[in-house]
Amino acid sequence: MKILSPEVTRLLDKLYNLRGSDSVIFKEMESAHEKAEETKERTTAQKATLQEKIAGLEADSKNLSEQGKKLIEVLKGIDKNAYATVIDRLHINFDPEALVEKLDSSLPETIEKVNSDIESSKEELVKVEEEMNSAITTIEEIGIRKDAAVANQEKLNEYFDLALAGNINITRDSITSLLEQFDLTEEETREAAKILMFPEDALYDYDARLRESEKKSISEVMQEAKNQEVIEPKVEEAPKIEPVSVEPVKAEAPKVEEHKFDREDLIDLFNEIGLDYLDYTTSDLDQVLEHFNEKVIRRNVNIFKENDLSLDIFVDHINLLYDKELEAKMDRLLRIGKSALDIYLNPTVLTKYDYKNLDKAIILLQDSGLDPKKVPLMAY
């Protein structure tokens, strides 16, 4: 079983988090939703308070203006001398003229101050309403985003279920376009696509261990951890043994098992020689592994590289990648005057014939009085 690297394990931790109800995406949306609701509740109360304040200030401004004018008119109509005896005897400090002067000088400033408070409150009200509307918009957007996130999560779980069942047959574009919705880096997206398109035993093991851990209680997990603690065995002193003459035995060299190429190794090779493994299906990769020969693969890729031809030819004709006679067939066609580009555009001639039968077809054309160079490859 191939062990997953720490980097891939962390990526799987992230992906499995995205698959669950405790997804970081849902948590972030839940936190943002709660914050927006709190803002909406606070600003709604602030708006009501400010509206009440503004209404009171506007009433004060109106009353100051109206009542001030009336009071000035009343005071101007009072003759202080007509009430001199009462004012003197009762020691009343009443001077209509002085009051009128004070009203004339102070009332406009007071009204202006109240009006200024009204404008400030209105500006504050605008800001509060903007904040409130922004919170309301955020709540609505989160609702839409949550619906999309749920749909994306369902699709991600569907892809994982297919991969774990060994039955995934999803295109690269479909997988990458989905993964791009989860705020993964480009490298994470590429690695996650590889995991889904070409699942390995380590993925199955990760999933199995995760499901097993979900069934256990916390106490069971704690007990397992205790059981796994390393206990140093007590070492007893070995009895002394008298030396005995023993013929030396020549130790056999340990057998070295030859490394068997697996799909991960093949993907690494593809990356090295310039092939994008995500362009190939699981069946394609298994087919290459079945006929695997690294030297042949490198040689066949170089044939097209040296002729400045696209390596996409292998996407539709995977058997050319491991065709041991490809070089000989290309050479035979080039020798009769065909161009490398012509061969690239008509690859069927390479897949249709092995070298022996291709040579026979060329000789047959020559025996018939035809020039193989002038005969279109599609007619071969």
Least confident of 149-158, 273-282, 320-329: 273-282
**What DSSP designation does 229 have?**
S
- In this structure, are residues 294 and 268 in contact, taking their beta carbons and an 8 Å threshold? no
Q: What is the mean pLDDT of the chain?
A: 85
Residues 309 and 347: their CA atoms lie apart, in Å, by 12
**What DSSP designation does 206 have?**
H
| pLDDT of 242 strictly over 80 | no
Which range of 210-224, 252-266, 275-289, 306-320 scores highest in mean pLDDT? It is: 306-320
* Nearest residue to 129 via CA among 238, 51, 208, 52: 51
Q: What is the pLDDT of residues 198-227, one digit of tens each?
A: 887 778 888 888 887 766 544 454 455 445
Mean pLDDT of 148-169: 91
- In this structure, are residues 128 and 50 in contact, taking their beta carbons and an 8 Å threshold? yes
Q: What is the pLDDT of residues 21-62, one digit of tens each?
A: 889 999 999 999 999 999 999 999 999 999 999 999 999 999
Q: What is the pLDDT of residues 306-360, one digit of tens each?
A: 999 999 999 989 999 999 999 999 999 999 999 999 999 899 999 999 999 999 9
pLDDT score at 2: 55
Percent of the chain having pLDDT more than 70?
87
Residues 170 and 41: their CA atoms lie apart, in Å, by 46
